[in-house]
Structure 1
């Protein structure tokens, strides 16, 4: 049985030590054959580094590593190109000086690999000198590969002035790739985000963005076919539909792909867990969602135009772009309206939906982990048994337990989406099937929840103090929302109304599809 490449850092280690490997080299051949300068955005831990390492070994002429792969018989192995690797994955840059020192140290080390001592003192001039001298000494044009090109900026998004300073330093560095274009054979920049060309790639107008090019949609990640064929010997006893539900679903306008990090760890442990999510810290993202007052139910139904989805800058960060580029949302539908293209975004899979809403719930409620787990168990049991009076008591007690001082420190008491967000986060963190803005022939249901053969149709409203309650349930009945699901299970209609002043539930009325309770 071949080993799984968990923790392996280089393509050379994988190919020389009998590891499983998904062959992406046909796509590498196409890149090298049809173009020269590329940019790719993919979420963290999606195989970008391994892709760049594979490209590096191909251009360096390491034919022995490609035995049995597509490139073995589709590459000019007689030519070896000097390869420059720039990698910002390690460490956090705390100022522009540290960034420049890091770049210079990396480039000097690259030069020494080829027996070249560099003389320049400024970061961009050191790169320019390295390219020029490698071209002169080797007689071949140079390959430049940049991994985590944006990490110095992303690490400092909560300090916009510092992030801008680091962005300017990187822009200075990357400008060399345009100035030395004649001496370059191949350029590839990879990272999580896509900054606008004006802000970071000014002048680098020959850089081809393949992020949403359907020809390269699967260049990182595993397709269903990859999983079933390459890892067949590890799939004994594995529920493939559950595997797909947990980890598949990322879409860059081609075949859907799995997160490779999740797949490898699952096949090693045979335990469904949020492996990928647990390696990140979405604090900045959560704070951005709260600052923009984006209700949690909207996360699975966001719309973004092509320009918004494609880029952002330090001083202009939209949640849709950040959520998509960081891998928390993916493309669910591409819409064409005349000459305008837009995208409907949603959670890629169960792992992300459960984990992100659990993190958001923690911030929205300020409750401890053990308290949340206990409440989640009680919520699930009440829904599964159809005990709605118990459900009302659970959520009423929950809202009553949030300290007044917490509301004083933020604006959430007046944020209508906050109340529905709590319900949504609890339901999705439980892994339940939840549909928001559920379309019917006469309107949209706020939220539909499916659990153990039961269907819950929910409508939320915020009312003034002392106002008569019951309008939420009345709307469900008048619009005949239940008609959509008749014959599919036991249907419950639930209207929930909140008072902003008391910051709690003041109306909680329900009915079955047959009569009022």
Structure 2
């Protein structure tokens, strides 16, 4: 339970659900930068390890023998074991102050750079290049050096190997979030939290009368929820929280394009953060254009004419869309 090293899982004959087809999909459909967004305990770290072992010049690619990706011989010949890889995890950066967080980040960078000391003997690097590399091993690394460290390391690796570098960054986002035990909904398919399922199956081996539990409960911090509670001082939001705690549903517009600095800029953005990190799950979807069509119908049917004839000068127009027990309302931008 909890193994995240792809090579160890294969070599030690652990049960493994073959996800190597993801590599093929990534190469055929992916771009220069790819973001994997899934809640915690969905196997992101193991997949990152799998991708690292596939591309890395330094790894043993025989561990892919017999797996799905090995059937695509042309793709394997072109990409497998052909690239230097920089793989880092920001999971350990858990600090209350900037200084402490920076110190943690420097240690992580040092550890990554220390695995590549063969660069000191590289015939492709100049003495200046090697002196620049040595700065990445310094305990007293300056902020300026740190901020360019990954770029600098990738340039040195590209010079040494003569090919582009694959970058993998795990646990890039803070705060780390946990999921409701009810699981998640992807499209129209409901999926239980894999961490809960695996732990439950493991417990069943020894205790046949075991019941499912909230195994995720101690797997992450509560920063997102704490921030949300701090920002939710108005009566409306408190009522919405009470509705969720009662097992009911609310309607919110989700902004999946948020970048990190925007997450706490508004309460509406925090709702989106809670959804994307797995605290909340989708139970349905209200047609985003339905309210617009309702407003358009008001104009086409001229429902406001009778009101004007009766002397009403200020008219508010609302487009209302309903889905099962849910309802979405949008007010027209201009008053009539």
TM bracket, shorter-chain basis:
0.5 to 0.7
Cα deviation, residue 438, structure 1? 8.3
- Checking the alignment, whether the CA contact within 8 Å between 2:55 and 2:82 is kept in structure 1 is yes
Alignment of 1:76-475 (within 5 A): 76-77=76-77, 79-115=81-117, 116=119, 117-119=133-135, 121=142, 122-151=145-174, 154=175, 249-253=183-187, 255-270=189-204, 271=210, 272-282=212-222, 285=225, 288-289=228-229, 291=233, 292-293=237-238, 294-298=240-244, 300-307=248-255, 312-318=262-268, 319-338=270-289, 439=325
Q: Could you say which residue in structure 2 is the equivalent of 1:59?
A: 55
Structure 1: tracts of 5 or more residues without a match: 1-5, 155-190, 194-220, 222-245, 342-436, 444-517
More strand by share: 1
Q: In structure 2, do the counterparts of structure 1 residues 439 and 71 end up closer, same or farther at CA, with 3 Å as the change threshold?
A: closer
- Please give the alpha-carbon distance, in whole angstroms, between the structure 1 residues aligned to 2:11 and 2:69: 16
Do the aligned residues in 2 keep the contact of 1:87 with 1:148 (CA within 8 Å)?
Answer: yes
Q: CA deviation at 1:310?
A: 5.1
Unaligned runs of 5+ in 2: 120-132, 137-141, 205-209, 293-322, 328-336
Which has the bigger relative contact order, CA under 8 A and spacing at least 6?
2
Query: Aligned partners of 1:50, 1:85: CA distance in 2, in Å?
Result: 12
Are residue 48 (structure 1) and residue 44 (structure 2) matched? yes
* TM-score, normalising length: structure 2: 0.64
Structure 1 residues 309 and 296, CA gap change in structure 2 (3 angstroms):
farther
Tell whether the 8 Å contact from 1:118 to 1:126 is kept in structure 2 after alignment: no
For the aligned residues, what is the CA RMSD? 3.4
**How far 1:287 moved relative to its partner?**
6.8
Q: 1:247 to 1:339 in 2, by over 3 A?
A: same
Structure 2 Cα separation of the partners of residues 340 and 310 of structure 1: 24
**2: distance between equivalents of 1:144 and 1:29?**
17
1:56 Cα deviation from its structure 2 partner? 0.7
- 3-state DSSP of counterpart to 1:43: coil
Higher deviation after alignment, 132-141 or 306-315: 306-315
**Contact kept in structure 2, 1:42 and 1:326, CA below 8 Å:** yes
Q: State the SS of the aligned residue for 1:72.
A: helix
Whole-Å Cα distance in 2 between the matches of residues 113 and 308 of structure 1? 36
Task: Give the direction of change, closer, same or farther, for the CA distance of 1:252–1:192 in structure 2 (3 Å limit).
Answer: farther
